[in-house]
Amino acid sequence: MDSYIQGIFMLAGINLMAVLGLSLLTGFTGLFSFGHAGFMAIGAYTAAIMTSMLKLPFIVGIVAAGFTAAIFAYLIGRMTLKLKGDYFCIATLGFGEAIRLILDNFQGLGGSRGWPGVPAHTSMLNIFIAVVIGVLFLSNLVRSRHGRNLIAVREEELAAQIAGINVVRYKTLALVVSAIYAGVAGAFLAHYMTFIQPKMFSLIKSTELTIIVIFGGLGSISGSVLGAVVLTFLPELLRAVDKWRLVAYGAAVILIMISRPRGLMGGMELTPNGIKKIIAERKAKKAAAQRSEP
């Protein structure tokens, strides 16, 4: 495979890793976050410290990245998860920007000029393995009592409470797990770019992740996978239209959202059972349409 295409695939894998976590938080638990680039930044810098400064193996960097992001998420969660809906969203936005500004002003890690010379450890193989493990863990989590409790929180918070679900605890769980995914994605990103800079983890990055989750379809893991791949490739395919590229990207996203308002997968999964369900629903729709015709 040519290295340009390979590069895009690796980027898609890194985006996917972060999107998987956000999918758990937004798609399954119903919490919107505009600060996940902050967790990616924490992961990227932690991993870079491990491999570049301390000369430890990449795997140590990845684990440390996930771990550190988890600790931050836990602390932030304890402080903000009693807030409802939009207020939590604003709190995450503040968190993401705060992390970026702290890194911008902290000269020890390169400050706003960035940190060059991070070893290029990221490869097609290790990203692929990480993504497969990520998808497996997430789909197993979602299809368990813990996952069902998260979905219950999304569906009807008060009813979830009355059903014996500790809502704050489960929201914290979703935030911590999603931060681990973002942290690991940050570690891969740092060792793919070999250069990290606070600017890479701005609000735009957080927004991009949220767009991918919604674009793929809330509450669908396969939707998140599809969304991450499509939306990473789209801007590259649009290089043909040169400076109109980002305009075309925006237009394409809007068009797809209009034609599929519930996202690409709309809550369905691309598993044998899920496909059966999709086909059954199509048939039912067609039958209903025929019945309504005179």
Partner 1 sequence: MSQENENILEVQGLTKRFGGLAAVSEVDFKVRKGGIIGLIGPNGAGKTTIFNLVTGVYKVSEGTVNFEGKSITDLEPYSIADMGVTRTFQNIRLFKNLSVFDNVFTACHLSATYSLPEAILRLPRFRREEKLLKEKAQGLLEIVGLQDRADVVASNLPYGLQRRLEIVRALALDPRLLLLDEPAAGMNPDETEQLMRLIADVRDRFKLSVLVIEHHMDLVMRLCERIVVLNFGIKLAEGSPDDIRGDARVVEAYLGAPAPAGGK
Distance, CA of 15 to CA of 84 (rounded, Å): 28
3-state DSSP call for residue 217? Answer: coil
Torsion angle defined by CA atoms of residues 157, 163, 167 and 171, in that order, rounded to the nearest 10 degrees:
-90
Distance, CA of 47 to CA of 65 (rounded, Å): 5
Closer residue to partner 1, CB minimum distance, 152 or 190: 152
Q: Taking the complex as a whole, how short is the minimal distance between the CB of residue 151 and partner 1, in angstroms?
A: 7
Work out whether 145 is an interface residue with partner 1 (CB under 8 A): yes
Stretch of residues binding partner 1 (CB under 8 A), selected from 59-67, 141-149, 206-214, 238-246? 141-149
Interface of this chain with partner 1, residues 119 to 138, rule: CB under 8 A: 137
Interface of this chain with partner 1, residues 265 to 294, rule: CB under 8 A: 267
Q: Taking the complex as a whole, how short is the minimal distance between the CB of residue 223 and partner 1, in angstroms?
A: 15
Interface of this chain with partner 1, residues 206 to 225, rule: CB under 8 A: none
Closer residue to partner 1, CB minimum distance, 82 or 113: 82
Please name which of 171, 180, 213 lies closest in space to residue 80, comparing C-alpha atoms.
171
Tokens describing residue 102: 């702290």
Count of residues near partner 1 by CB under 8 A: 24
Assess contact for 158 and 152: CB atoms under 8 A.
Answer: no
Closer residue to partner 1, CB minimum distance, 3 or 292: 292
Q: Taking the complex as a whole, how short is the minimal distance between the CB of residue 103 and partner 1, in angstroms?
A: 31
* DSSP code of residue 24: I
Q: Taking the complex as a whole, how short is the minimal distance between the CB of residue 283 and partner 1, in angstroms?
A: 14
Category of 30 on φ-ψ map: left (φ > 0), alpha (ψ -120 to 50) or beta: left
Work out whether 162 is an interface residue with partner 1 (CB under 8 A): yes
Could you tell me where the DSSP H helices lie in the chain?
Answer: 3-22, 36-48, 58-80, 85-105, 124-142, 145-155, 157-162, 167-193, 203-216, 221-237, 245-259, 272-292
Work out whether 159 is an interface residue with partner 1 (CB under 8 A): yes
Work out whether 144 is an interface residue with partner 1 (CB under 8 A): yes
- The contact set with partner 1 (CB under 8 A) reads 137, 140-141, 144-149, 151-152, 155-156, 158-159, 161-167, 173, 267
